[in-house]
Chains A and B, each alone.
Chain A
């Protein structure tokens, strides 16, 4: 290759690189980041009104459980951990609420977000006399639900699969019960807007 051709090729390449660089710099100014194919996108903003992200997790017996298994049920999806004091306070309430509202179609699903192992989680759940399914959590599920910031965190899902309420941290039992009624459709509270059209939050988090 002739030296002039090499120089021309370099000039073209550099011009291209400067263009790409300027484009990236412009995106950075408006808070844009290129999607990273190795990292799943976190759902942005509030999940209320959106379809609950699907999941596929093992229960304490090793059986796969998906959100779709509870089609037609009202759900309380509770993220918890064995080392979490406030979670321990809620669990007896959930046992009572499962007994009280189960016949109306409520299923409480506990997703354990700690790495203490299946046996320790099972032992803890037995001690707490848990009467609802406990699933072993995965990172991707926490992400799909907005990157759970702290525990406990609960999502209330109506029979159509739409998230109608979200509670971070320990809430009053009465607030939890109100949100259960909202999920069951027996509450007099204002209807939650429907925003269940396809978007990132509907992606399965397996």
Chain B
């Protein structure tokens, strides 16, 4: 009995000590330099996307939930923004050595990803090589993807996840290819006769 009480007391004391450790800041928060250093270890070349406080090369605009009736399809438009002064290769860059922008999505059961449609890029030439045409996205661009909810899909919210793979450059430097995560919800409602089947 006495032993049990002592054990309980010890446990309480340890909990108290743990709480005080937290309050005292014993677990340091990563500072900016540490984040940059860690990024550099994960990838040989750091990009502005990796460095807190630096401008983002590519921003993923969060997509609104997609409403869909069971047994029907819809198209989701995913929007992106390329920071000023930068461009990313389009999905069909003119040269083989360039890395295209690609979208990859994974859906839960009962939801199927359909055709992914990329915008036509803009042809540009850069001052360092006026003879070489590049096909790029800059500013705002969007990629659309078809979605199909199975007729057996139960009403509810389904999370679709994926990433956009891109490689960015500015007028005189290029940055390593990078993946940015994407996630949006598909809200499935019970089949309705009014919904148009595509």
Contacts and interface: CB of A to CB of B under 8 A. Distances in A.
A155 B167 CA distance: 24
A34 interface: yes
Contact of B172 (A34, A42, A169): A169
A86 B98 CA distance: 12
B17 A85 contact: no
A17 B19 CA distance: 11
A11 to B, nearest CB: 10
A34 B44 CA distance: 22
A1 B129 CA distance: 79
A170 B40 contact: no
A14 interface: yes
Interface in B40-68: 40-47
B173 interface: yes
A83 B41 contact: no
B26 interface: yes
Interface in B151-198: 167, 169-170, 172-177
A83 B99 contact: yes
Interface in A1-55: 1, 3, 6-7, 10, 13-14, 17-18, 20-22, 24-25, 28, 31, 33-34, 36, 39-42
Contacts of B177: 83
A85 B25 contact: no
A148 B45 contact: yes
Interface stretch (B27-35, B70-78, B106-114, B140-148): B27-35
A85 B126 contact: yes
B174 A83 contact: yes
Interface stretch (A63-71, A101-109, A135-143, A180-188): A135-143
A42 B44 contact: no
A interface, size bucket: 35 or more
Contacts of A20: 24, 26
- A41, A89, A152, A170 pick with most chain B CB within 10 angstroms: A170
A175 B43 CA distance: 29
Interface string A131-159: 00000011101110001111110000000
B173 A139 contact: no
A58 B193 CA distance: 65
A194 interface: no
Contact of A17 (B24, B28, B176): B24
A25 B25 contact: yes
B81 to A, nearest CB: 20
A151 B99 CA distance: 15
A73 to B, nearest CB: 24
Nearest to A127: B97
10 contacts: A10-B16, A17-B26, A31-B33, A81-B176, A83-B97, A85-B129, A142-B44, A143-B37, A149-B173, A170-B173
Given A83-B98, A84-B174, 16 more contacts: A1-B6, A6-B9, A6-B13, A10-B13, A20-B26, A21-B26, A24-B26, A83-B99, A85-B128, A86-B173, A86-B174, A113-B45, A114-B176, A143-B37, A149-B45, A170-B173
